[in-house]
Structure 1
Amino acid sequence: MSGDAVTARYQVAPGYRVNVRSGPGTNYSIVKVLGEGASVPINCQCSGTTVSGPYGTSNIWDNIANGQFVADAYVHTGRDGYIAPRCS
């Protein structure tokens, strides 16, 4: 691991396995599934499909890696709304 070792990580909702998609919406393909207890970095965020999850209903999607997005409604960020820069 090099460079950005200080990137904050955020816990996925307890008891959930969360789909990671190729883009910011449920219409994008699933590229992998995060196991229970996973934590993820949030590189940037963008709007997409509205999803209801344990942390409310939101259209915010979190970019966790190149070409990998998770619905913010399943990630405990401690806030409603954006916490990271918008994806370009």
Structure 2
Amino acid sequence: MSDDHASTTLAEPAATAAASRYQVSPNDALNVRSGPGTGYNIIRVLPAGSFVTIFCQTPGTTVTGPYGTSKIWDNIGSGEFVSDAYVHTGSDGYVTGRCG
């Protein structure tokens, strides 16, 4: 008869939640710093290939890495920043809102 339930499979709400997780370069350990620049203290080091959640992004020190040269820094936690040049976001620009 009719196929009323066919339209219920169109939405994938889980995909939205995963959109903010990105992989760190698989070839490089990544310094996590206390601010958006190389002059800030190193808090910890992420293993190569780790996944991070980007909460917001902000400009800082320009860094060249495996994903190009960027002055964008990703906030991955309270007081924790990594250079976007080492995170595979698929973009040379901002992928989330600015910190502030």
Do Structure 1 and Structure 2 share a fold, with TM-score over 0.5?
yes
Structure 1: which 5+ residue stretches go unaligned? 1-5
Instruction: Summarize deviations over 1:53-84 as a string: whole Å, max 9, x none.
Output: 00000000000000000000000000110001
Higher helix fraction: Structure 1 or Structure 2? 2
Please say if 1:39 is aligned against 2:51. yes
Of 70, 73, 84 in structure 1, the residue corresponding to residue 85 of structure 2 is 73
State the match for 1:87 in structure 2: 99
Secondary structure of residue in 1 paired with 2:88: coil
Secondary structure of residue in 2 paired with 1:51: strand
Cα deviation, residue 29, structure 1: 0.1
Identity of aligned residues (%): 63
Max Rg structure: 2
State the match for 1:27 in structure 2: 39
State the match for 2:30 in structure 1: 18
Cα deviation, residue 36, structure 1: 1.5
Report the TM-score when normalising by structure 1.
Answer: 0.92
Which structure has more RCO (C-alpha within 8 Å, separation ≥ 6)?
A: 1
Structure 2: which 5+ residue stretches go unaligned? 1-16
Cα deviation, residue 37, structure 1: 1.4
Of 48, 70, 91 in structure 2, the residue corresponding to residue 58 of structure 1 is 70
Secondary structure of residue in 2 paired with 1:33: strand
Output the aligned Cα RMSD.
0.8
| Cα distance in structure 2, aligned partners of 1:13 and 1:36 | 6
Where in structure 1 do 4 or more consecutive aligned residues deviate above 2 Å? none
| Cα distance in structure 2, aligned partners of 1:42 and 1:60 | 12
